[in-house]
Amino acid sequence: MALYIFSDAHLGSGTEDLETHKVAKIAELFERVKQDGDRLVILGDLFDFWFEYKHAIPKEHADVLLMLRGLVQSGVAVDYVSGNHDFWMDDYFEMQIGVMLHRDSLDMEYGGKRLYLTHGDGLAKADRGYRFLKRVLRNRFNIWLYRKLPPDWAIPLAKWVSGSSRDYTSKRDHTFAPDYEQYAAQKLMDDYDIVVIGHLHIPVLTELDGGTYVNSGDFINHFSYVKLDDTGVRLEYLET
- Kindly give, in sequence order, each residue whose CB lies less than 8 Å from that of residue 20, ignoring residues fewer than 6 positions away: none
Cβ–Cβ contacts within 10 Å for residue 215, how many? Answer: 28
**Domain span including residue 152:** 2-237
Q: What is the pLDDT of residue 56?
A: 75
Q: What is the pLDDT of residue 216?
A: 98
Q: What is the pLDDT of residue 233?
A: 98
**Sign, Cα dihedral of 165, 168, 172, 174:** positive
- What whole-number distance in Å separates Cα of residue 156 and Cα of residue 205? 37
Which among 118, 116, 90, 108 has a CA at the least distance from the CA of 199?
Answer: 118
Cβ–Cβ contacts within 10 Å for residue 125, how many? Answer: 11
Number of domains in the chain: 1
Tens-place pLDDT, residues 151-210: 776 666 666 665 555 555 555 556 788 999 999 999 999 999 999 999 999 999 999 999
Q: What is the pLDDT of residue 169?
A: 55
The CATH number of the domain holding residue 7 is 3.60.21.10
Strands 211-216 and 194-197: parallel
Q: Hey, is 27 helix, strand or coil?
A: helix
Query: Which residues of the chain, if any, have pLDDT below 50?
Result: none
- Look up the pTM and report it: 0.88
